[in-house]
Structure 1
């Protein structure tokens, strides 16, 4: 496994509205050296600008370095195991994650910039989400699967055991929510099609690039920070974490935005974590979970 991947990319994602997202950061490292931020170019402008979700899709589909492990900081599916369905009680509830991605992208076909507003405002599906303005759907909490932060996937329970505080992907409210990011990310994954393997929905191939879900807090914990202090906002803290991971420091001094810091640290963490066979075979990851809920790489 040590030589399986030659490049390691971490993408801090965003579900915000708009054509370009200041919350998207992309970092890449090789088998040696410090991680580096990748910049995008605005068409017709000399200076690099913020990434759009479509540009990240193009990067993954057309411009990845050979044998890259790509970590996406978002949920690649919704809870399924707790109730035996993504949307229990809805006749059109998809049977697996890929069908879920297709459903989201189809309903949101008219939403620009890979956003997912039409999905969460759907006349029937909105009942399963907690939305802004105190709009908690009648099915956000289901009988027998109550959780104060909403329905959880099995991998999110594993994250919690590691000291993290995951939130339900059905929750779209609050600074800690990841629901919007996850839904927009699923649109992107659907549009990737067969261009890249997505683990664990797809078995880990023997060669080529692979996309997987990550949780940047797990990388921060591996770098010596507590889950409650996972965010880094200055170069000194970032480079201290990189040193714990055996990575050379990145250049720069003073403040750094937490999106960039998360991506840089996590790309270096992927380099150390990818050779670990145990992380590719979590004890709780069954074939059914791989097909429906997926898993967060690094959660055990």
Structure 2
């Protein structure tokens, strides 16, 4: 895929998260913390009760299970690129046959297999950072959301793993850590897509690790490995890894641990009414449902 011009190799993203399906839940402390922040933002719904909910990039489905618990009559759809992740959603242990089941769909966030105007809430925790084209992705979100529907998502910001990025840059000239967009760029993309009243927040968490090998092992358990199209396809040699380790050492703190910074961006925005323009291919395009177009009948 390196010849496509895409930043990420989608096949590698799928493989990495498929391999991490069995270890993800045990390693996902940060992901659960960010997920809890997103749940706090659900208060913006007020008395509104969503009938159709999508947990996008669901992973093992912890958010999907909680969303179903909150709104047991709603249809909840868990969507993930990695089929082994979806197999972890709502295991039989603790399953209530009287509850509506969670639908599971293996699909790419860039091409949602959902009808227009079919969703009231898109909930997406730390998934969209793997998408190159924010504008196209958000256009897809807007397409499936009903007017007044809520988009609630999180992504990583540019300071994420900056220590590891700097350490590897001292070892060779190949990128080893994914680039992540900033909060301003994400907000601008939401506005270009026509979303209303966006609210964005930024948080920075620093986790300590005994050594770089332990940090890398934790990233593999999360599926957060190098999925760049321009990545080196051979394994990182001992010499380059040792050079990166040496470059990381000056970051070691007074607590004896190597810091790993995680910058997270959370975003909330509302789908607009039909007819609100959206930028597509450099042009403003407005869509209206066919049922909403008045038809004047001629009298015979």
Q: Give the TM-score range, shorter chain.
A: under 0.3
The TM-score normalised by the length of structure 1 is 0.25
Q: Which has the higher contact order (CA 8 A, sep 6+)?
A: 1
Q: If each structure's strand is expressed as a fraction of its own residues, which one has the higher value?
A: 2
TM-score of the superposed pair, with normalisation by structure 2: 0.25
